[in-house]
Structure 1
Amino acid sequence: MAVAVNPTDDRYTALIGKLVRLPLSGVDGGPEREIPILADDWAKLEFGTGAVKVTPAHDPNDFAIGQRHGLPNLSILNETAHVALPGSPYDGMDRYAAREKIVDDLRESGLLVEIKDHTLSIGLSQRTGVVIEPRLSQQWFLKIQPLADKAIEAVDKGYIRFTPDQYRKTYDEWMKNIHDWCISRQLWWGHRIPAWHCGKCGEILVARETPSACSKCGSSELTQETDVLDTWFSSGLLPFTVFGWPGKDSQGLTPDLAAFYPTELLVTGFDILFFWVARMIMLGCHFMLDVPMPDGSKRTLKDAVPFREVYIHALVRDADRQKMSKTKGNVIDPIEIVTKYGTDAVRFTLASMASPGTDIAFSESRTEGYRAFANKIWNAARFLFMQVDRARQAGYKMSMLASGAVPELPAETPLETRWIFGRLHAVSGEVERSLADYRFDEAAAAIYQFFWGEFCDWYLELVKLRLEFGEGIENNATTALTLASLVAVFEAALRLLSPFMPFLTEELWHALYEGNAPAKSIALTRYPLPGDFAADDASVAAMTNMQELITTIRALRKELGVPEKEAAPIRLHAENRVLALADANRDMLTKMARVSELEFATETLSGSNARATAAFDVAVIYERQIDVAAERERLTKELSKLEKGLTAAERQLSNDTFTAKAPPHIVEGLKKQAAETKMLYEKAKTALEALPTA
């Protein structure tokens, strides 16, 4: 219908507005046609000749050009993709046959200059797999702007909140540039459009019930529209139709609608933000605005929205962050993963990686790690149940363990017990804030660190110091308090973990109560909140100091080669507060750091067996007996190896071509590696020189 050129293309500026004869028109006595040369930004200077044909009835972009320039919409293909152009020599030909014939005719007429291959996107039919030919046809449209205005206002006024917030901007951008919505689809399934065509006068009737006669001419020759509604239109009505709207009430209010609309939260993926979320908001704000509130008052826009919050979750991709596709062969079968690692491990993996605004690159190695976490929880439960059984056998009364309630902590309560409840206070608060902000990854990380890093690695080891199951255990206040605290902490930790690992926690929780659980399910119990546990910053700070001291001693022992099971004395220099803390917890040092004796020093400690921190200096007193000859041989080999590595790194870094072309992070990594290698080389050299010569 036209030829379009870019208005800035100097090659064609003089031709804009002129007419050109359409090639092959007038062939075999057919009519000749002249078409205009138009200036339009859609034509690209660098693409092909810079002049592009415009077929408004057979291309969406060309249709838009035709709308801008008032071109007629001539359709030359019928529903079977055959040419439908009476008077043309190609009339009735299949599309592919017509193309070959046209190329031959252009060549024969001397109009064909050159043929080039061109890669382009082609739509394929989902049902048949054949190439789809765009063709202008009658469709049903929804006038969208009035609906979009209300939907934009609802979000701008805060009636609906998006998490992550970045999707609000995406939503606004789309809604403010929205076009009328084509809601008709040529499918075999779906909600059929409630419209009837009169076979006599052509009138179209839209009605709730099937009409018996045409409202215009009275004819009964009525045929229902064969198109169905777009799935997203039907789905967009879901928030209120699921509650019975419009019901029998002329105002549309039903008991379920009054009770449950609007809902609080929609959880969905970003890939259907436009298809579904925006449509639900538009349709809800339109249809529910006039539906009364349960108290009879007029429903405002604030209460017409379908939901208060929209949480956009991540998409699960493969380990290389590629979208899973059967064609690519990178689809992960969740049933196989669940069978291999367990449902709880898979759930925890997804939760731990659910960072807002980013997709989840699913990794089996992460899932394997969380299966180990599940095993750790199970083993912790076995330890606890073993202690409870020992207490029963020793005649301990189990009344304190009936509910898992936090026991009262007397002044003489051991440090680790006061610390673990203080940490429960902090962690439950951290989890509460994370869940409120939909930071499931942060909540999972907090629970993981508490259960494994603090409860299992520290608290379970330390309670072994307090559990004595000899005669008269019922009168042993320390054992009674420790056992009750152990059960209370474990029970609270299970409740914290329940949403992330529901199956394991459900099993262990019922086992803990031995059939006398206070609820049918752990999911029906109170979720731990900070107020359930007393804050104890002083005990947490003190325990942090003890943990730092213990880990420093452990590292020193390893460097000095102290056998793991052999205890060794230490010397400690610190301010009086830290000295008093260490003195009061000598048993903790003995248990966790294999300390045989604690000495206090009045001066700063130094030397190869000492380490300094901001809070203390500590030295491990240990004389290591070594095989001088073997150590000399080992250090010599180590020096040779380090020297080769250092030489290779320096050679690369001195190569200007390499440093100029290599990515910056590679060069920086190599520099860091060279610096570390040089440091290790100097340490090994110093150690070799320090060895006795005899």
Structure 2
Amino acid sequence: MSTSPALQDIPKKYDPSKAEDKWYKFWNDSGFFHSEPDERESYTIVIPPPNVTGVLHMGHMLNNTIQDVLVRRARMQGYNACWVPGTDHASIATEAKVVNKLREEGITKADLTREEFLEHAWDWTHEHGGIILEQLKKLGASCDWERTRFTLEDDLYESVIDCFIELYERGYIYRGKRMINWDPEAQTALSDEEVIHREKQSKLYHVKYDIAGEDANVVIATTRPETILADTAVCVNPDDERYQDLIGKQAIIPMVERKVPIIADEYVDPEYGTGCLKITPAHDENDYQIGQKHELEIIDMLNRDGTLNEDARFYVGQDRFEARKSILKDLEQQERIVKVEEMSNKIGYSERTDTVIEPRLSLQWFCSMDKMAKPALENVMNDNVQFHPAKFKNSYRHWMENIRDWCISRQLWWGQRIPAWYFGEGAEEYVIAKTEDEALEKAREKSGRDLTKEDIHQDVDVLDTWFSSWLWPITVFDGIRNPDNEEINYYYPTNDLVTAPEIMFFWVARMIMSGYEFRGEKPFSNVYYTGIVRDSQRRKMSKSLGNSPDPLDLIDQYGADGVRVGMLFTSPAGNDLLFEENLCEQGRNFANKIWNAFRFLAMNMEESQDYSTKLKIDEDNLVDRWMLAKVHSTIKGIEEDFRKFRINEALKKIYSLIWDDFCDWYIELIKSDEQGANIPKERLERGLSIFEVLLKLLHPFMPFLTEEIWQLMRERKQDEAIIVAQWPAANEELIKDEDIALFASIQSMISSIRNIRAEFNVPQRADIALLIKAKNEDLVDSFQQNEWIFRKLQDIGSFEVAVDLEQPEASASAVVEGSEIFVPLEGLIDLEKERERIEKEINRLEGFLKSVNGKLNNEQFVENAPEDVVQRERDKKEDTETNLDKLRGILGELS
């Protein structure tokens, strides 16, 4: 076999480390990632901006691989593909990291002015903020890096402030004192969506409260005994006969000896606990509602950090959970603990700090959501915005139909500062303004006084991080400040959003609301919900559990393409991915399989020949017709998969087409008929042309490998790189189902012949006689015309096909789609010795089966042995019976 000198240096194995940095730099430097508005139709994706504090984890790997697949395919389809990257300023997480860093340096936040603290925060951001985006490049993410955005950069900051002012003027934003979720560690308010509820084992304490003026008591039940100190009522159900005579009397709160009214409200469940509740309006959402209804006193006993304040009167300065231990000890000494029950209870945790949240009455800024929710709900339910999978529409509808006002203020310094300016005594009066000068002018007009800048001050709080990211698809194209600019009109609405279902309410729903509120249209057409990456025990992968591999280590070991394939193999939309590292190994093996196929084809190329990759099909050759039909039927299938966002199914189809059909069958059948000779030129040209189509289909999934092979196959111009090659289109005329079916029958027959050789110990290189009993005359002609395929792949002496053949004596047989094949064994093997071997094996298995049945027929064993032990015996029985049936069939054919 002669070899092209230019291809002699192709290494035997594909080395990702030598290809990945090279081709990523080539793509980026060549401008393939960058987009500017032009005459083409746009295809736009905005990245779910990772926290600026973050580093790449397995969830990012999955999410961004899917985005890259979509955008690379769109680019090849001729769209002006634009994938906007960026990061989120992550108010709570970033401020916490900066505070911790300062603490290590002996500095507290309280030691600094706001401006000084923000200098430290920006320094930290500049040092650490770009890490995750650089890591995404290792994965192959083809983002338009020239468009990288950050939610706190000046124009995005200004857009958020403009949005706040506009919503305030429309009457959506208001300031009020309400019960909110409080994070004592971050010392800030949280929205409902930032609270994670976990089922925990708790204790329900039954505590005696005395009745004022009587020698009697009533027993309440509580999971939070420390809040007894702030009780302002006891409440029962008005229909509960047990407590009818108590309604209107007073109870005495233990420890603080405060007299409070005993009230009646239908909210109380008589079946819960004792049917008698303590009411603490400042520290429970439901208690607050009851307190408002019954005009109860409100006693706030907690400081911002979760310690008890002076209003608690006892345990002042203790953490809330330490105070719980203290009050329980004192109540025990006073013999007021009647009973303690174990119970399961849902407890809210901060999504950011993992601290138990505290319901807290607080003056905050809120955004009314009712009106904005209506078009956002309608356009998801009517599929104007499509969810993939559609099952998430139900959760979305439930949340939107029960939506609550959004607490948008945060007690932090890192973020967009609320544009409210206070003036007057107690700062109860305020104006909303973009600048200090504008605020002063408005304050003068509102107050009627000649105020100076010293008389006004801006709100110290910042806006919830999600209040900037809900505008992300708009602000990255400057669509708030300049609502009619060229870019927002060209790129918006975007096409697809890839995200995790756990931020459906944090982010997706709010983006849809803001899209209709500020642009009058949807922000995207499709939302693809990825699953959560879990380990084999179904635990979510996390560094804290120690069950998550480092993504960059995986890339170093298996190559970016191998990891991408491994992630996608078992990640259907919306379903969790049970990740195992062998999936990445499978991806690497696939890369090596493709490399070996390329290398084999390349080693057959002649330097002096001009290989055209224009397809020239041999109409008389079933193998060519079959291969082309498989390619184009696969293209048709994956187009449907992409339309339905079945990305993993599309990959599996391509995997099977390349590994099974092209490598294992087609290449074998186009080899030269002469041992050691090159593939004939015309066959090689057809093989190379098909291989190029396969590389194009594979490129979005395995970009580095495909570009490396594409560039090695022949000399290419810069604009002929595979990243911008034309995406293959399905040719319906080439999809001939009859050719696919016929070749599938021949494949099954050849596989059956291989099985016969293995089962009857027929030497692999021994010539066999092959008889085919075709189920009809048409197949007789077809099998005869393609006798060469059988001979190419099997050592065959005589070959006979007819519809009326009878099975010869001492022959092996198989049925394939209504036709039968017979392989006479006389002369191929020692029949007597083979019969003896099989009979011996049958006797051995029958003895083994008898012992297994003995155990399973023993009732004592079945009832007392562990279930897994019994199941193993049942599995042994089933496997043994299957093997016996098979051996008896073989023995019958030898007789």
The CA deviation string for residues 430-466 of structure 1, in whole angstroms up to 9 with x for no partner, is 1111111110111011101110111011100000146
Look up the match of 2:517. 286
CA distance in 1, matches of 2:569, 2:354: 40
More moved, 583-592 vs 371-380: 583-592
Deviation, 1:596, is 1.7
Match of 1:437 among 626, 644, 647: 644
Look up the match of 1:257. 488
Question: Does the residue aligned with 2:504 lie in a helix, a strand or coil?
Answer: helix
Asked if 2 retains the 8 angstrom alpha-carbon contact of 1:406 and 1:533, the reply is no
Look up the match of 1:4. 235
Aligned residue pairs total 650
CA distance in 2, matches of 1:259, 1:366: 40
Matching residue's letter, 1:616:
S
CA distance in 1, matches of 2:869, 2:632: 44
Counterparts in 2 of 1:387-402, with a 5 A limit? 387-389=604-606, 392=607, 397-398=609-610, 401-402=611-612
Asked if 2 retains the 8 angstrom alpha-carbon contact of 1:22 and 1:35, the reply is no
The CA deviation string for residues 414-444 of structure 1, in whole angstroms up to 9 with x for no partner, is 2211211111111111111111111011101
CA distance in 2, matches of 1:318, 1:488: 41
Question: Does the residue aligned with 1:331 lie in a helix, a strand or coil?
Answer: coil
- Of structures 1 and 2, the larger Rg is shown by 1
Asked if 1 retains the 8 angstrom alpha-carbon contact of 2:749 and 2:816, the reply is no
Matching residue's letter, 1:262:
P
Rate the CA distance shift 1:586–1:171 in 2: closer, same or farther, 3 A: same
The CA deviation string for residues 602-635 of structure 1, in whole angstroms up to 9 with x for no partner, is 3332655222334322211233444967974775
Look up the match of 1:21. 252
Counterparts in 2 of 1:361-510, with a 5 A limit? 361-389=578-606, 392=607, 397-398=609-610, 401-402=611-612, 404-407=613-616, 409-411=617-619, 413-465=620-672, 479-510=680-711
Look up the match of 2:537. 320
The CA deviation string for residues 34-65 of structure 1, in whole angstroms up to 9 with x for no partner, is 22233344547353x34332212112343344
Look up the match of 1:225. 459
Look up the match of 1:35. 261
CA distance in 1, matches of 2:361, 2:763: 84
Rate the CA distance shift 1:678–1:93 in 2: closer, same or farther, 3 A: closer
Asked if 1 retains the 8 angstrom alpha-carbon contact of 2:618 and 2:625, the reply is no
CA distance in 1, matches of 2:471, 2:781: 69
Look up the match of 2:759. 559
CA distance in 2, matches of 1:503, 1:580: 46
Asked if 2 retains the 8 angstrom alpha-carbon contact of 1:314 and 1:358, the reply is yes
Match of 2:779 among 558, 575, 578: 578
Counterparts in 2 of 1:543-558, with a 5 A limit? 543-558=743-758
Deviation, 1:188, is 3.4
Deviation, 1:145, is 0.6
Q: Which runs of 5+ in 2 are unaligned?
A: 1-231
Asked if 1 retains the 8 angstrom alpha-carbon contact of 2:811 and 2:823, the reply is no
Rate the CA distance shift 1:340–1:639 in 2: closer, same or farther, 3 A: farther
Query: Does the alignment pair 1:640 with 2:841?
Result: no
Question: Does the residue aligned with 2:234 lie in a helix, a strand or coil?
Answer: strand
Structure in which a larger fraction of residues adopt strand: 2
Q: Which runs of 5+ in 1 are unaligned?
A: 27-31, 290-303
Look up the match of 1:299. none
CA distance in 2, matches of 1:128, 1:275: 17
Query: Does the alignment pair 1:167 with 2:392?
Result: yes
Asked if 2 retains the 8 angstrom alpha-carbon contact of 1:646 and 1:677, the reply is no
Rate the CA distance shift 1:465–1:127 in 2: closer, same or farther, 3 A: closer
Look up the match of 1:185. 410
Deviation, 1:261, is 1.7
Asked if 2 retains the 8 angstrom alpha-carbon contact of 1:163 and 1:438, the reply is yes
Match of 1:358 among 546, 569, 575: 575
Look up the match of 1:239. 473
Look up the match of 2:805. 603
Rate the CA distance shift 1:579–1:245 in 2: closer, same or farther, 3 A: closer
Deviation, 1:357, is 2.6
Question: Does the residue aligned with 1:139 lie in a helix, a strand or coil?
Answer: strand
Question: Does the residue aligned with 1:140 lie in a helix, a strand or coil?
Answer: strand
Matching residue's letter, 1:204:
Y
Asked if 2 retains the 8 angstrom alpha-carbon contact of 1:568 and 1:594, the reply is yes
Look up the match of 2:558. 341
Match of 1:677 among 880, 884, 887: 880
CA distance in 2, matches of 1:686, 1:179: 70
Look up the match of 2:419. 194
CA distance in 1, matches of 2:671, 2:683: 9
CA distance in 2, matches of 1:92, 1:561: 87
The CA deviation string for residues 318-351 of structure 1, in whole angstroms up to 9 with x for no partner, is 2222101222211121111111111111111222
Look up the match of 2:298. 73
Matching residue's letter, 1:336:
D
CA distance in 1, matches of 2:255, 2:588: 71
CA distance in 2, matches of 1:16, 1:596: 103
More moved, 648-657 vs 479-488: 648-657
Matching residue's letter, 1:652:
L
Greater RCO, 1 or 2 (C-alpha within 8 Å, sep 6+): 2
Deviation, 1:518, is 7.7
Percent identity reads: 33
Matching residue's letter, 1:272:
I
Question: Does the residue aligned with 1:179 lie in a helix, a strand or coil?
Answer: coil
Asked if 1 retains the 8 angstrom alpha-carbon contact of 2:417 and 2:462, the reply is yes
CA distance in 2, matches of 1:145, 1:467: 77
**RMSD in angstroms over aligned alpha carbons?**
3.6
Query: Does the alignment pair 1:158 with 2:389?
Result: no
Deviation, 1:236, is 0.5
Rate the CA distance shift 1:7–1:312 in 2: closer, same or farther, 3 A: farther
Matching residue's letter, 1:529:
A
Question: Does the residue aligned with 2:788 lie in a helix, a strand or coil?
Answer: helix
Rate the CA distance shift 1:540–1:679 in 2: closer, same or farther, 3 A: closer
Match of 1:620 among 810, 813, 823: 823
Deviation, 1:503, is 0.6
CA distance in 2, matches of 1:630, 1:480: 46
CA distance in 2, matches of 1:153, 1:305: 11
CA distance in 2, matches of 1:56, 1:467: 91
Rate the CA distance shift 1:662–1:517 in 2: closer, same or farther, 3 A: farther
CA distance in 2, matches of 1:349, 1:129: 31
Deviation, 1:259, is 1.8
Asked if 2 retains the 8 angstrom alpha-carbon contact of 1:636 and 1:688, the reply is no
Counterparts in 2 of 1:131-142, with a 5 A limit? 133-142=358-367
Look up the match of 1:212. 440
Look up the match of 2:147. none
Match of 1:63 among 288, 298, 304: 288
